[in-house]
């Protein structure tokens, strides 16, 4: 069951509106149609509605605009009391639309009667507070599903250091198969299992496999399961890994339940003729030609309401300098074939536009004073002075769609499971959003005839 926003009663209508919103020219522009880095090359500011830009330009402090936009995502009624006065109606309507198209993120809390999971101290001491909270909430739900469905085995894919796997094995009396593509992660998990006194090959089994959605893994899982029912899980299964797991759950007979939380949507590979298993995976989304750019997928990884407001920060300087730099490179034709400067940016780089540009150009083997004059660099800085609010607001607008993007991705996974005949397919915000913004767990179970 998916808890739809209050304006909706039908999931497919909700999905159609989401897709239509993401395909609107404005959404396409701000989620990468014109990347913030290219804002001055393609004059992205002038392509926004003029009443919005005029209003933002009229504000005495552009940071107020950013705070107002981020606050607009909050669903609590009291948040509306902090909306900035004088905001154009058309902007308010657009912000309402974003809010109304986003799945709820308020943590789903299991009834008190359902037992909590006590994470053994030896395991808990290895986890940071955020991870411990995720493991407690995830293990409690998984244990509950297993105990109420006579499931004794769990397959944890993308198991990492084994925080969840080992907790389920040690505290819930479940046999766990922990699978990860990284030998280093598996080694860490094995060492922790030994410390916790778990028996390899019995309570816990480790497997180093990079999961790509092939049938071999289904065979390995089935052999390990020895004919028993399993729940397939993954906490923060990055990018396409969640999609491979969703497929695996439908094709592997011993897997009766799935509970997976995704993350790192920028690592999702898109559907194409050469990648027929790519995103979107559901027939519904494909038949509606859902198309999200890589930048839009990156947006899905953001959580602006969790940003900590720092009144002393050099507001938006990073995006501003980058956009001026890209304009300079473009105008002067300094790089061939659209090559971009790539370097590990340090805080010191933002001291001045000159320092920033010098570091960026050195990554392209270009030197100020040789390939471009000092005066030209200073000239660009002067020409764009006072326009940093534009790039800051454009960047904020792009991340504002984070929850809409994540809602589309999650619905695609829900539809796929339903299309494959899974039952009780749903989305549970399993973690506390302020602590763990990637908190949507997609769940489902196989019906009797699957
Ligand atoms: C974000 S971490 C989460 C780890 C763990 N589930 C947790 O919550 O602590 C994702 C893990 O998935 C693993 N991973 C990513 N893609 C994978 C793939 N295609 N196959 C197997 N493991 C993968 C990574 O090595 C990493 O350990």
Phi–psi pair at 228, nearest 5 degrees: -95, 160
Asked whether residue 274 falls in the same domain as residue 160, the answer is yes
pLDDT tens digits, one per residue of 66-81: 999 999 998 888 999 9
pLDDT at 407: 96
Mean predicted confidence (pLDDT) in 133-147: 98
pLDDT at 447: 82
Closest CA relative to residue 203, chosen from 191, 218, 193 = 193
pLDDT, averaged across the chain: 93
pLDDT at 310: 66
Which ligand 1 atom sits nearest the alpha carbon of residue 182? 25
Confidence of residue 312 (pLDDT cuts 50, 70, 90): low
Higher pLDDT, 299 or 120: 120
Asked whether residue 414 falls in the same domain as residue 268, the answer is yes
Pocket, ligand 1, Cβ cutoff 6 A: 158-161, 163-164, 180-182, 185, 210-211, 235-236, 238, 241, 263
Which ligand 1 atom sits nearest the alpha carbon of residue 135? 8
Mean predicted confidence (pLDDT) in 230-241: 97
Q: Is the pLDDT of residue 259 over 70?
A: yes
232: CA distance to ligand 1 center in Å? 14
The torsion region of residue 221 among left (phi > 0), alpha (psi -120 to 50) and beta comes to alpha
Q: Which residue has the tokens 């749903």?
A: 426
Asked whether residue 271 falls in the same domain as residue 312, the answer is no
Residue of the nearest CA to atom 1 in ligand 1?
236
Confidence of residue 348 (pLDDT cuts 50, 70, 90): confident
Q: Is the pLDDT of residue 449 over 70?
A: no
Could you tell me if residue 113 is inside a domain? no
Q: Is the pLDDT of residue 313 over 70?
A: no
Asked whether residue 280 falls in the same domain as residue 292, the answer is yes
Asked whether residue 335 falls in the same domain as residue 197, the answer is no
Confidence of residue 315 (pLDDT cuts 50, 70, 90): low
Please choose from 137, 154, 158, 265 the residue to mutate so as to test ligand 1's pocket, defined by most ligand atoms within 8 A of CB: 158
Which ligand 1 atom sits nearest the alpha carbon of residue 210? 20
Residue of the nearest CA to atom 19 in ligand 1?
211
412: CA distance to ligand 1 center in Å? 21
Mean predicted confidence (pLDDT) in 274-282: 95
Asked whether residue 144 falls in the same domain as residue 286, the answer is yes
Structural domains counted in the chain: 2
Asked whether residue 275 falls in the same domain as residue 133, the answer is yes
CA distance 143 to 113: 13
What range does the domain containing 366 cover?
A: 33-101+304-400
Could you tell me if residue 97 is inside a domain? yes
Partners of 321 in the β-ladder: none
Mean predicted confidence (pLDDT) in 122-151: 97
pLDDT at 311: 60
Q: Which residue has the tokens 């992660």?
A: 185
pLDDT at 347: 79
Q: What is the CATH number of the domain that holds 273?
A: 3.40.50.150
Opening angle at CA 178, ends 172 and 182, nearest 5 = 145
Confidence of residue 63 (pLDDT cuts 50, 70, 90): confident
Asked whether residue 358 falls in the same domain as residue 395, the answer is yes
Could you tell me if residue 65 is inside a domain? yes
Please choose from 124, 138, 180, 190 the residue to mutate so as to test ligand 1's pocket, defined by most ligand atoms within 8 A of CB: 180
Q: Is the pLDDT of residue 176 over 80?
A: yes
Which ligand 1 atom sits nearest the alpha carbon of residue 234? 6
Could you tell me if residue 6 is inside a domain? no
Residue of the nearest CA to atom 13 in ligand 1?
158
CA distance 305 to 43: 27
Q: Is the pLDDT of residue 305 over 80?
A: yes
Confidence of residue 304 (pLDDT cuts 50, 70, 90): confident
Mean predicted confidence (pLDDT) in 406-422: 97
Which ligand 1 atom sits nearest the alpha carbon of residue 263? 1
Please choose from 123, 166, 238 the residue to mutate so as to test ligand 1's pocket, defined by most ligand atoms within 8 A of CB: 238
Asked whether residue 312 falls in the same domain as residue 427, the answer is no
Give, in order, the Cα–Cα distances in Å from 25 to each of 20, 22, 53.
10, 8, 17
> How much of the chain, in percent, has pLDDT values that exceed 70?
98
Mean predicted confidence (pLDDT) in 163-175: 98
Strands 175-180 and 204-208: parallel
Q: Is the pLDDT of residue 34 over 90?
A: no
242: CA distance to ligand 1 center in Å? 10
182: CA distance to ligand 1 center in Å? 8
The region of weakest confidence among 264-273, 357-366, 402-411 is: 357-366
Q: Is the pLDDT of residue 160 over 80?
A: yes
113: CA distance to ligand 1 center in Å? 32
Mean predicted confidence (pLDDT) in 30-54: 92
Which ligand 1 atom sits nearest the alpha carbon of residue 158? 12
Confidence of residue 365 (pLDDT cuts 50, 70, 90): confident
CA distance 311 to 21: 33
Query: Which of 368, 384, 400 represents a domain boundary (last residue)?
Result: 400
Residue of the nearest CA to atom 8 in ligand 1?
235
Confidence of residue 62 (pLDDT cuts 50, 70, 90): confident
Output DSSP code: residue 437: S
Please choose from 131, 136, 160, 267 the residue to mutate so as to test ligand 1's pocket, defined by most ligand atoms within 8 A of CB: 160
Asked whether residue 341 falls in the same domain as residue 382, the answer is yes
Could you tell me if residue 271 is inside a domain? yes
262: CA distance to ligand 1 center in Å? 10
CA distance 315 to 305: 17
> How much of the chain, in percent, has pLDDT values that exceed 90?
80
Mean predicted confidence (pLDDT) in 78-99: 94
Asked whether residue 261 falls in the same domain as residue 309, the answer is no
Could you tell me if residue 22 is inside a domain? no
Residue of the nearest CA to atom 24 in ligand 1?
158
Mean predicted confidence (pLDDT) in 41-67: 93
Confidence of residue 124 (pLDDT cuts 50, 70, 90): very high
Strands 422-429 and 255-263: unpaired
Asked whether residue 269 falls in the same domain as residue 139, the answer is yes
């Amino acid at each position: 069951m998916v808890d739809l926003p209050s304006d909706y009663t039908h999931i497919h209508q909700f999905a159609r509106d989401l897709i239509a919103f993401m395909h609107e020219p404005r959404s396409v522009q701000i989620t990468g149609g014109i990347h913030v880095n290219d804002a001055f090359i393609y004059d992205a500011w002038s392509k926004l509605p003029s009443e919005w830009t005029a209003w933002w330009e009229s504000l005495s402090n552009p940071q107020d605009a950013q705070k107002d936009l981020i606050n607009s995502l909050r669903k609590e009624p009291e948040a509306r009391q902090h909306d900035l006065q004088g905001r154009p109606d058309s902007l308010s309507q657009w912000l309402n639309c974003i809010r109304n198209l986003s799945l709820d993120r308020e943590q789903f809390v299991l009834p008190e009667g359902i037992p909590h999971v006590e994470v053994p101290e030896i395991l808990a001491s290895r986890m940071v507070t955020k991870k411990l909270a995720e493991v407690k909430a995830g293990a409690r739900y998984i244990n509950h599903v297993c105990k109420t469905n006579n499931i004794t085995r769990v397959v944890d894919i993308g198991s990492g250091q084994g925080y969840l796997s080992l907790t389920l094995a040690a505290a819930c009396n479940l046999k766990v198969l922990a699978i990860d593509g990284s030998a280093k992660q598996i080694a860490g998990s094995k060492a922790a299992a030994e410390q916790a006194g778990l028996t390899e090959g019995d309570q816990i089994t480790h497997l180093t496999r990079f999961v790509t959605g092939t049938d071999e893994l289904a065979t390995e899982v089935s052999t390990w399961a020895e004919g028993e029912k399993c729940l397939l899980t993954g906490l923060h299964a990055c990018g396409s890994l969640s999609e491979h797991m969703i497929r695996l759950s439908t094709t592997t007979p011993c897997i009766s339940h799935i509970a997976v939380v995704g993350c790192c949507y920028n690592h999702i590979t898109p559907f194409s003729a050469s990648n027929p298993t790519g995103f979107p995976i559901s027939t519904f989304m494909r038949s509606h030609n859902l198309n999200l750019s890589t930048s839009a997928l990156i947006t899905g990884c953001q959580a602006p309401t969790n940003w900590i407001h720092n009144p002393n920060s050099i507001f938006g300087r990073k995006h501003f300098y980058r956009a001026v730099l890209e304009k300079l490179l473009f105008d002067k034709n300094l790089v061939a074939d659209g090559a971009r400067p790539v370097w590990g940016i340090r805080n010191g780089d933002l001291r001045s536009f000159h320092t920033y540009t010098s570091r960026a150009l050195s990554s392209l083997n270009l030197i100020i004073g040789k390939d471009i004059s000092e005066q030209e660099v200073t000239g660009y800085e002067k020409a764009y002075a006072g326009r940093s609010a534009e790039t800051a607001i454009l960047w904020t607008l792009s991340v504002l769609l984070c929850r809409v993007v994540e809602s589309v991705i999650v619905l695609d996974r829900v539809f796929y499971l339903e299309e494959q005949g899974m039952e009780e397919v749903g989305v549970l915000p399993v973690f506390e959003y302020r602590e763990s913004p990637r908190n949507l767990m997609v769940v489902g179970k196989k019906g009797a005839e699957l």
